[in-house]
Structure 1
């Protein structure tokens, strides 16, 4: 038989009859399923179907980075009509069905990521084994793109692991570890790295002797999910799932589509696969999906060095950050050190004295304990992680750090003093960063001898959960420093956005007018719960007043002071927040703010008990239809307006960076695509016209000195400041 030559596959059959199909997509750090992979897998399966010498087929990756990252999202994004989508979906479903129906056993050998279409390929195999280490993760994350699995994932996953687990995985886009996958039956065996080669050979040997394998793996297969196969039980589980996603499904239609496809997975015909294709096609052209796809590509762009540094090719090979120092072991400092340690960075926290050092140690240990419990780590692994973070009272212990992050109190004078002392204690090649949420990076750099190696690195709280990190370029920050910090942020598994040094940088500057407007509305007698409920209906994960409580009203007061010169209403907002802070109402951490805490659910407080005096609410006015309620418009427009100002001032250079930053940093409704995308949806002319009305109704904070223009420079507005359409 003529040997087929492939570009993405290496196909080899040994003397024992084991045919190995090794996938290695050229030019990609991780395998993705693209047209070449699909065509070559199709050819390999056609060849395999005609062979008589094969006793076992093994699918594996030729890349140490992992099995599959999933389908090539750029192909999905480029589909322009439902006919193209149908062709792609049918091709994938038919290919995996052929793999499923092969006359010989099939085995997927999984290490590293096995996601999306990669997991759908593995599900088409008879057996799956996975290497049990931290990089291995299995999942169907399509819901995060506003889609559902389209190559049989909604059908095969449910039949394999049952309705309950498949609903959880698909509706949440969950990634599960090898051990977790083994416990729910997603993989047949999770193998420790030090036993990987030996046990893999054992599995292959078992599969070559089918009767023996049956006793090893198939006990209980199909039995554990028998109860869920009962139609009445299935209906109950589906009904519970539908109720749980009812509110979210308004914004994310993929949730309902997923349940619809999954609920048909127990049928004995192809109806479930047809439903999967139909729902995928319907979702692909929804605004939510298109916006989530834009955000996906924005995130990919933000993680590329060439996006932020002009001469990036010269900086790719400079020594990366290897050891981290952190000054200050408070909530943020301890969180940064812990996060770095989980990614393999030895870290040293410098504290002022024994008491604060002990407190920092306790914070780190608590973070590690929570992390270890979440990851299922044993005591030895947990202790090893704790030992990766040293806490010291001596600045000299930072001397070997290649990056030191200052994370102390938000006071310019204190930060300058600490940075001045730090510079003389570390090597000249070490990068220095300040974790500040609003203070000027350039002003801090004025006390340094080598300001080129200094920048801002704004982590968001809690560090372990928040994906965004703002990298702030000071007036004298070098490209080499930016390159090192962008690389460091990426290595932490986070997403960097490089901003200009401007009060509030990007996220806080855009977010604060929104939060401040909510405070002013409380002063005018608006109900706390009504304000928050309106914004949750808009699509925010929580309302502005609840968010203020979570951030801390003392922190919000500090940010308000920083932005006071830029925002007309910041002084009034500071006064109101100052009253809260003065009486000890700091939000969640004090047990009271706009809400009272302590019970099962926060309870909104009466506005009459929150502010010392009320002002007259504004008169009503007619607005041009923009899809928003009056309360939503009043709260959302300040964000949109400030976003346009940030773009005009070059805080960042692109709209996508604003949208991505606000989605990752604040939870801005991702299905809407971000503030700039919302403006496009409203229309620049209507947005400007409504701004003018808000300015007449509420004052100068809604004024814009120039009409907002389209990105291509064409003036799409039909008004000047103060004029109405």
Structure 2
């Protein structure tokens, strides 16, 4: 919700009186003395518009309606807070406090509160652990960061590092983009300063230096390569810069799908190496997947985790595996949605179902944000390396063939105007690809069915990721899905949601889904074993020690 100015707050009855700044203290003292002289002040109703209760009631109804639209009924606390304010204004402050206390107690024991508290403490745990590990190592922290790559991702990483107080040296992959990269990073930092976005512990922004050649990167503590997601391109650039770097420089490649160890082997790299996967947009997405190569030591890992934590990111160590964790699950989500389209489901109903479930964007909105070209690159990698269950559905191939890219080109599965506003489904989906686009809204029961259809296979894939030690704990999956792909926080994460359904129910529905036309799939042995032993993701079950 947007902030209110003082006059609007007075009009709405949120404050009782406005005064000039110079008169604030004296008027506050006067009000305190008046209250102290009136023994009944606590029970007296107050408000800026006591003589117009119908006007006040109108405003409260409007605000409640706005809150319910914004929260979609999934977050009850804001509505209860509004009701507390209303009670205090109309019935007196003691009644307001009583209502607030009862509401707080009621909300504190709700499933939504438990899930939100779980996510808060888990997120803080990973951030604090990253800083603590670096402290235990006792080694010199990262101070200077070199960024190679003048695209959106490289520019945003450089900007955010400088905003948080690191000295940054930027080098675009081509001379043509160097000036633009330098200008954009500098402007981003100036805007952040103006908006009072402070660095770690109130530090001033770091310096920004433009590298004329790779030699200007020689003394950086951390080098982040953020060029195109093409193995050959990364090898070409890194093979030129690695011989120049000091031996203690830690090297990281920003990648969403490429094998870090394969890159190290092809380069014959001696520097300790990491994959880091920032999510777009860098300034708003908190998760960063961290993929240590085989040659990365504990000390360098601690440094990288501490650096990312200082950027106010959530660094999550992930095993070097095909597309890591989030993109593997996200591709499963998009593939399952596309299979429904191939079976005749209205394409817009699928996005409606996901948003109704609580996702900020449906699978098609997400695909437009990341770009169909990037999404298909990830899908191809998973199909090539994992096999049949990641076979691309026909409609995705069709979308590629007619040149749909995504939001950054203004033409994706949706059409986008110059301001980035969604103007509706792309008519080519129906006109050229003959996909089903419905003018009607999906019925609530159909939304529920479709949401489970696209989400339950993702639970199965997450179970496989745990089995393969891509990550080791269910909470890591849950934090990653909330912070990296927008899974609704009020549900606690993907595997918390699975537990709320019950593992036997998840398996039953998965078996129904896997019988539909498409690639051969079977429920993972990990899920079957959980059901056989009575376990859930967050309980040990009957056969546990």
Matches within 5 A, 1:636-647: 636-647=455-466
Alignment partner of 1:602: what SS? strand
CA contact (8 A) 1:441 1:472 kept: yes
CA contact (8 A) 1:685 1:716 kept: no
Superposition CA RMSD, Å: 3.6
Structure 1 residue 212: Cα displacement: 11
**2:208 counterpart (386, 389, 392):** 389
Runs of at least 5 residues in structure 2 that lack an aligned partner in the other structure = 1-5, 35-46, 199-203, 437-444, 537-545
Please state if 1:302 is matched with 2:126.
yes
Structure 1 residue 643: Cα displacement: 0.9
* Counterpart position of 1:256: 79
Alignment partner of 1:563: what SS? helix
CA contact (8 A) 1:519 1:545 kept: no
Alignment partner of 1:348: what SS? strand
Please state if 1:443 is matched with 2:289.
no
**Greater CA deviation, 672-681 or 650-659?**
672-681
Alignment partner of 1:471: what SS? strand
Structure 1 residue 710: Cα displacement: 7.3
**What TM-score does the superposition give when structure 2 sets the normalisation length?**
0.82
* Counterpart position of 2:64: 242
CA contact (8 A) 2:130 2:302 kept: no
CA contact (8 A) 1:331 1:363 kept: no
Please state if 1:319 is matched with 2:143.
no
* Counterpart position of 1:231: 53
**1:425 counterpart (233, 244, 261):** 244
Please state if 1:338 is matched with 2:159.
yes
Structure 1 residue 592: Cα displacement: 1.6
**What TM-score does the superposition give when structure 1 sets the normalisation length?**
0.63
Runs of at least 5 residues in structure 1 that lack an aligned partner in the other structure = 1-157, 168-183, 190-210, 378-383, 616-625, 718-725
Structure 1 residue 282: Cα displacement: 1.1
**2:95 counterpart (258, 271, 276):** 271
Paired residues, what number?
498
* Counterpart position of 1:283: 107
Q: Deviations over 1:510-561 (max 9, x none)?
A: 1111112222333333223211111111111111111111111111111112
Quote the Cα distance in structure 2 between the aligned partners of 1:703 and 1:229.
68
Structure 1 residue 497: Cα displacement: 0.7
* Counterpart position of 1:357: 178
CA contact (8 A) 1:442 1:474 kept: yes
Which is higher, the Rg of structure 1 or of structure 2?
A: 1
Structure 1 residue 580: Cα displacement: 3.2
Quote the Cα distance in structure 1 between the aligned partners of 2:355 and 2:26.
51
Quote the Cα distance in structure 1 between the aligned partners of 2:495 and 2:149.
36
Structure 1 residue 570: Cα displacement: 3.9
Structure with greater helix share of residues: 2
> Per the alignment, do residues 585 and 166 of structure 1 end up closer, same or farther by CA in structure 2, a change over 3 Å counting?
farther
CA contact (8 A) 1:709 1:716 kept: no
* Counterpart position of 1:530: 349
Quote the Cα distance in structure 1 between the aligned partners of 2:291 and 2:252.
9
Structure 1 residue 375: Cα displacement: 4.0
CA contact (8 A) 1:423 1:448 kept: no
Alignment partner of 2:276: what SS? strand
* Counterpart position of 1:572: 392
Matches within 5 A, 1:52-63: none
* Counterpart position of 2:378: 559
Q: Deviations over 1:210-260 (max 9, x none)?
A: x995179989xx9xx846995344323322221112242421111221111
Please state if 1:214 is matched with 2:26.
yes
Structure 1 residue 692: Cα displacement: 1.3
Quote the Cα distance in structure 1 between the aligned partners of 2:150 and 2:499.
43
* Counterpart position of 1:671: 490
Structure 1 residue 481: Cα displacement: 1.9
* Counterpart position of 1:588: 407
Quote the Cα distance in structure 2 between the aligned partners of 1:298 and 1:608.
41
Alignment partner of 1:603: what SS? strand
Matches within 5 A, 1:691-702: 691-700=510-519, 702=521
Matches within 5 A, 1:599-618: 601-606=422-427, 608-609=429-430, 612=433
CA contact (8 A) 1:452 1:478 kept: no
Quote the Cα distance in structure 2 between the aligned partners of 1:485 and 1:516.
33
> Per the alignment, do residues 601 and 406 of structure 1 end up closer, same or farther by CA in structure 2, a change over 3 Å counting?
closer
Structure 1 residue 353: Cα displacement: 3.7
